[in-house]
A and B are shown apart, each in its own frame.
Chain A
Amino acid sequence: MPDASAPAVHQHAAPTSFLRKYVFSLDHKVIGKQYYGLALVSVFIGMILSWLMRFHLVWTNAAIPGLQLLSKNGAPGGVMTPEYYLSLLTMHGTLMVFFVLTNAPFAGFGNYFLPIQVGAEDMAFPRFNMMSFWVTFVGFLVLVTAFFIPDGPPISGWTAYAPLSAVGKDAGPGLAWGQNLWAISIGLFCVGQLLGSLNFIATTLDLRTKGMTLARMPICTWAWFITSCIGLLAFAVLLPACVLLILDRVAGTSFFIPAGLVISDHLQPHAGGSPLLWQHLFWFFGHPEVYIAIVPAMGIVSHILMASMRKPLLSVKVVYSSMIAIGFLSYMVWGHHMFLSGMNPFSGLIFSFPTLVITIPATIITMIWIGSLYGANLRFHTASLFSLGFVSMFVAGGVSGFFLAQPSLDIYLHGTYFVVGHFHMVMGVAAIFGIFAGTYFWFPKMTGRMMNDTLGKLHFWVTFLGAYCIFMPFHYLGFAGNVRRYSSFVDDYLQPLLPVHKFITIAALVTGAAQLVFLFNLIHSRFKGAAAPDNPWEATSLEWSTSSPPPFDNFGGRHIVVKHGPNEYGVKGEKGDYIMQDSPEPEPAGD
């Protein structure tokens, strides 16, 4: 790939009106913050929903004061009904997977930092960029509207399996307009992500500044670039799947509904569809989605670890090559979600193999992180603690993948809390640790103020230990055969497991409370934090070569020329043990 020696420059004057500056802004930095803000709102809604669900699971008949205000039918007198539990479960999963785990690490941080890290003034298509956020935002509004309609949110889970999700109100509460809103929301979300992915790819390929070869791109830019390529293919499949679902629901088609179904005593007027088609389309998106959430977090964590260790990773090239391998393999493994779905059992073995193989690049990346710590001069600020916590969580969540990759073990573990523990740790908590690490690391750049490190460390410790207390026992419950998505545990064999659920609920409430410390720190530091220097972490990539926060055009009219790789740590530089990417100083002599 030749250097993009004369990058296209997108000059647009800094806006002055409030609307153009803060609302309908074309500035990738504002759009990045908007995505981050949307993720923040979503994550707190999602977390409160998980509190309500956890509370209901162990104190099933207890009233939750005020819940009846949210839904008179769903929680009469504040006591949650089984169907409302499923509504909250659907909304929790949908908000977290789409509006948090996709928005924050990829669209949020990616928007803000990808153009700066490649030395560009903005994204390749600023108007598309603005549109992608606002389409996503409308998708969010459509989704949360489901809380306020009489029907309530859908009860079919974030996976919306057909025909439960396809046949309408006969199948249960929330499955009339609630499910329509869900499908429209996710369709809009897909449009936003497709536009965003295109923009990321074009910006990475076309707008790199002079000297910024692909090999000189920081690891998180690589991660965002790879994620955009994954997203472009994944959301392009989920979007039509949502359209087909809507057609089945409102236009009388039968893509996902076979003949002869009798639901609520009504013989359904459909014939010829296949419920498995929805599963194939959904998981063809759904599995890559795991990597859409985790690959940016891997990039962010690698980036922060190098600045914290004061040395490069053993091989950055191996890390991004492994990410590419993961992205490629992620399209061959969707069937492992469907081992017991009724598809041909031979497919189970076929899908099992790449699923097991994908652990190889994942293990390589993990071993590179751990191996790179050897001989480091590790600095323990909050961002590095969350990065190290990420590695620990990624290992903990990753090893349970060995079980679920095998169809024979899925026979026992599928549909149990083991699966819930697995994906919460490896996709949820690990990615959120990546988001936290990124927040503590880049907050000074984004706002010009430092976050409080003591509060940050308190936040880290409670969250780290709390996450293990919540999600490790999920695996034990899975071994005991505890079925997931139950609103209460009435089965005889589940009774002895209730104390474990109580422990998890208390851990979830405490860990959740620690997130309020984070929120306080975030808001307080935004206005009252100590002034941030341009490069507080003594890091090397281009975002640290500009002011905190960066000016509208990112570099104040300077035309950046990159002369160094992104990971020159542990060398003799003019300013210390590092050399900035745009520093004019010569390459350091070899070790």
Chain B
Amino acid sequence: MGKLLAVALVLIAIISAVPILMHTWWMPEDISTHGHMIDHQMSETMAEAGIAFVAAQIVLAAFIGMFGDKKDGRKATHLPGGAKAVVIAAFLLVGTEVLALGVFGRDAWAEVYFKPAASDAMPIQVQAEQFAFYFRYTGPDGKFGALHPDKIDEGSQNFFGLDPANDVESRDDIVAASLVIPVNKPISLMMHAKDVGHSFYVRELRIQQDFVPGLDIPMHFTATKIGKYEIVCTQLCGLGHYNMRAYLEVKSQEDFDQWLKQQSQ
């Protein structure tokens, strides 16, 4: 039974590792300026965690295979070095790993959250609600109109609760159901929730951030590749959660300008 379990453990270790090594199911190509740092950190962690997983399973398998009870009255022996060696090894191996991951992993986090958005970043507001995303652009005046929750009216497509009759700044605001942005242009996204918690996740952008009712949360990123990508909700928000999505459309500057012109008409 011991030998069988040992073989099973080795097979589990190998079979588990194959899809990882072959990237059978893996992250899609990164289309952001910061994503390479996350990808690098992911690969480093994968290497360290992967080696730890495979090594532990194989040593476990080896000891199980080697030290089954043969009922020959053999006296049990102990691992050379005993617990002291194990504790020192654990501290050195994991301690180094922890420090390395903690210290180097900081950079990617800092790039997304500590670095302010570029001064020329284009401001866009995204509002999440059960079960859709809406995006708001400032229009020619460069300013967002104020939000009035009591004026929200889905029927007349006033998703944000704007008050153009009394609020000049809101009159030229552009509201869209897709996030359309120019390529290589820094974007400053203000995240606003209308009802409950939601999340904004674009795999290719390496961006995920919760919407928190009551808080407006800033995010910034730059997309580097023209294309159409899915934006999905990753925070359980109610019965239509699975179907809450929008598209990120990254266009050339010319195409974007044209799109914006169409929207403002």
Contact A385 B52 (CB under 8 A): no
What is the CA–CA distance of A34 and B49 in the complex, to the nearest angstrom? Answer: 40
Interface: A215 (CB within 8 A):
no
Interface residue from A263, A373, A408, A486 paired with B195 (Cβ < 8 Å):
A263
From A163, A371, A379, residue with most partner B Cβ within 10 Å = A371
Q: How far is the CB of A571 from chain B (nearest CB, A)?
A: 9
Chain A residues near B163 (CB-CB < 8 A): none
Contact B214 A259 (CB under 8 A): yes
Interface: A416 (CB within 8 A):
yes
Chain A residues near B106 (CB-CB < 8 A): 349, 408
Interface: B255 (CB within 8 A):
no
- Given contact pairs A161-B236, A275-B212, A378 touches B2 in the complex (Cβ within 8 A): yes
Stretch at the interface among B76-84, B118-126, B133-141, B180-188: B76-84
Contact A267 B196 (CB under 8 A): no
Interface: A133 (CB within 8 A):
no
From A257, A374, A385, A569, residue with most partner B Cβ within 10 Å = A374
- List 15 A–B pairs whose Cβ atoms lie within 8 Å, in order of A's numbering: A81-B239, A155-B236, A164-B237, A262-B161, A267-B149, A314-B86, A352-B105, A374-B79, A376-B63, A378-B68, A385-B5, A396-B16, A406-B102, A412-B206, A416-B234
Chain B residues near A267 (CB-CB < 8 A): 149-150, 152
A-binding residues in B (CB < 8 A): 1-2, 5, 8-9, 12, 16, 19-20, 24-28, 37-38, 41-42, 45-46, 48-50, 52-53, 56-57, 59-60, 63-64, 67-71, 74-79, 82-83, 86-87, 89-91, 93-95, 97-98, 101-102, 105-109, 112-114, 129-130, 147, 149-150, 152, 154, 161, 194-197, 199, 201, 203, 206-215, 217, 230, 232-243, 245
Chain A residues near B215 (CB-CB < 8 A): 258, 276, 342
Chain A residues near B67 (CB-CB < 8 A): 309, 373-378
- Given contact pairs A82-B242, A487-B242, A164 touches B38 in the complex (Cβ within 8 A): no
Chain B residues near A371 (CB-CB < 8 A): 79, 83, 86
Residue in chain A with minimal CB distance to B69:
A377
Interface residue from A311, A378, A468, A486 paired with B16 (Cβ < 8 Å):
A468
Contact A414 B234 (CB under 8 A): yes
Interface residue from A159, A356, A379, A493 paired with B102 (Cβ < 8 Å):
A356
Q: Which residues of chain A (257-274) have a CB below 8 Å from chain B?
A: 257-265, 267, 273-274
How many contacting A-B pairs (Cβ < 8 A)?
316
Residue in chain B with minimal CB distance to A481:
B203
Interface: A370 (CB within 8 A):
yes
What is the CA–CA distance of A550 and B86 in the complex, to the nearest angstrom? Answer: 38
Residue in chain B with minimal CB distance to A465:
B8
Contact A406 B230 (CB under 8 A): no
Residue in chain B with minimal CB distance to A468:
B12
Contact A395 B41 (CB under 8 A): no
Chain B residues near A348 (CB-CB < 8 A): 109, 113
- Given contact pairs A262-B149, A374-B77, A569-B76, A457 touches B1 in the complex (Cβ within 8 A): yes
Chain A residues near B19 (CB-CB < 8 A): 476
Interface: A61 (CB within 8 A):
no
Residue in chain B with minimal CB distance to A389:
B5
Q: How far is the CB of A182 from chain B (nearest CB, A)?
A: 14
B-binding residues in A (CB < 8 A): 81-83, 86, 155-157, 159, 161-164, 167, 171-173, 257-265, 267, 273-276, 309-311, 314-315, 318, 340-342, 345-346, 348-349, 352-353, 356-357, 359-360, 363-364, 366-368, 370-380, 385, 388, 391-392, 395-396, 399-400, 402-403, 405-412, 414-416, 457, 464-465, 468, 472, 476-477, 479-481, 483-493, 497, 500, 569-570
Contact A82 B240 (CB under 8 A): yes
Seed contacts A340-B210, A363-B90; 17 additional CB < 8 Å A-B pairs: A161-B236, A163-B196, A171-B238, A264-B130, A265-B154, A267-B152, A314-B83, A318-B83, A340-B199, A340-B209, A388-B64, A407-B109, A408-B41, A408-B105, A479-B26, A487-B241, A569-B76
What is the CA–CA distance of A396 and B93 in the complex, to the nearest angstrom? Answer: 17
Contact B76 A311 (CB under 8 A): yes
Q: How far is the CB of A405 from chain B (nearest CB, A)?
A: 8
Interface residue from A309, A357, A414 paired with B98 (Cβ < 8 Å):
A357
Chain B residues near A391 (CB-CB < 8 A): 60
Chain B residues near A477 (CB-CB < 8 A): 25
From B20, B149, B213, residue with most partner A Cβ within 10 Å = B213
Contact A314 B9 (CB under 8 A): no
- Given contact pairs A163-B213, A374-B79, A392-B9, A489 touches B242 in the complex (Cβ within 8 A): yes
Contact B25 A493 (CB under 8 A): no
Chain B residues near A400 (CB-CB < 8 A): 49
Contact B109 A375 (CB under 8 A): no
Residue in chain A with minimal CB distance to B40:
A408
Q: How far is the CB of A364 from chain B (nearest CB, A)?
A: 4
Contact B109 A481 (CB under 8 A): no
Q: How far is the CB of B185 from chain A (nearest CB, A)?
A: 21
Contact B194 A408 (CB under 8 A): no
From B38, B57, B212, B214, residue with most partner A Cβ within 10 Å = B214
Chain A residues near B95 (CB-CB < 8 A): 360
- Given contact pairs A353-B102, A378-B69, A411-B112, A486 touches B212 in the complex (Cβ within 8 A): no
Chain A residues near B74 (CB-CB < 8 A): 377
- Given contact pairs A408-B37, A465-B8, A274 touches B97 in the complex (Cβ within 8 A): no
- Given contact pairs A359-B94, A569-B76, A493 touches B196 in the complex (Cβ within 8 A): no
Contact B212 A315 (CB under 8 A): no
Chain B residues near A402 (CB-CB < 8 A): 45, 48-49, 52, 97, 101
